Structure 1
């Protein structure tokens, strides 16, 4: 018996270009196994989408490290120039060293003592004028007039030395320290003179002047101030 080629046996030839034609479904997936040579049916739904892994946002790179010479200055500028000390002294930073506390204290005490001496000088000149009037009226006060005038002038000289010396000492000039010591010595000598000369009721103020003068002299001779003056940079010739 010759089979009829037009009869259908449940299988049709696979046409890969015919989407409506029979599809090959492997065994175990809901249908019988198709003979070899038949293609599997295309999936009826797209595969589930998988989100890509999350990465941190990009970070801008930091500044690159610099090596060698610094960047050029802006237009019209110049590179900073480091200061140098005297020959053989090595590198010296541009920032000046701090003023020692003893120098500041000595200058302040000198100015305070100078102010007190100026007040005393005004009082002595006033007293000298008073004794001069008494002498004109027949009293023997000529010696007191001369004494008060002399002491007033001495107080004014000591005050001028202390003011000038305090300013120059703070400016790191060695001769300013010398003026402070000379002015303090004159003030101490005047205090001792008035301790001996004045009555006991007025000696207290002489002791006050003497104490301030001694404190000033001690501050002026401390080694910290001398070292600060000795280390001062010398001007180049």
Structure 2
């Protein structure tokens, strides 16, 4: 048997490293759940290089990769209690990172399109009175709907959409609300907002036809 036959192939080495990393992530998650306060710091240290590799594999810029890694870690911190199998932690983080990479990539493309469009749009078009009026109507309808919401929903949606610097942990602290309740409460609140806006639109249509 030759020495080459005993040397692991690059793909095998990658698999070994990934399995080792997955095991380390599982240990860190279990330690965190057991009350080890340093475990979360260890988890972040362990997975950060891997998350950057995931981000860069999606052909993102360094700035965008920073955004992906940060948002992935924030999401992981928020949703970690819902992860059933600690040993699946690395795969779970990978899914989050790839989803965030898609989001960031779309945002970058959208900003590029806006930049291209702004270079060709006439200044008179950008001040189109009809567009401005429609935007004001949409804003007023949203604010009116928010004002009609119960305080619990209004406070949450206001923090989520009018102060994008706040993370879920801060919002949970501000509202004395469990972090896990933010998502479901947000969805119920948005459903109420849509219903109120639609109700207002129907009333306006009825009044104009009366």
Output the TM-score relative to the length of structure 1: 0.22
Which structure is higher in RCO with an 8 Å CA cutoff and minimum separation 6?
A: 2
Structure 1 or 2, whichever has the larger Rg, is 1
Output the TM-score relative to the length of structure 2: 0.25
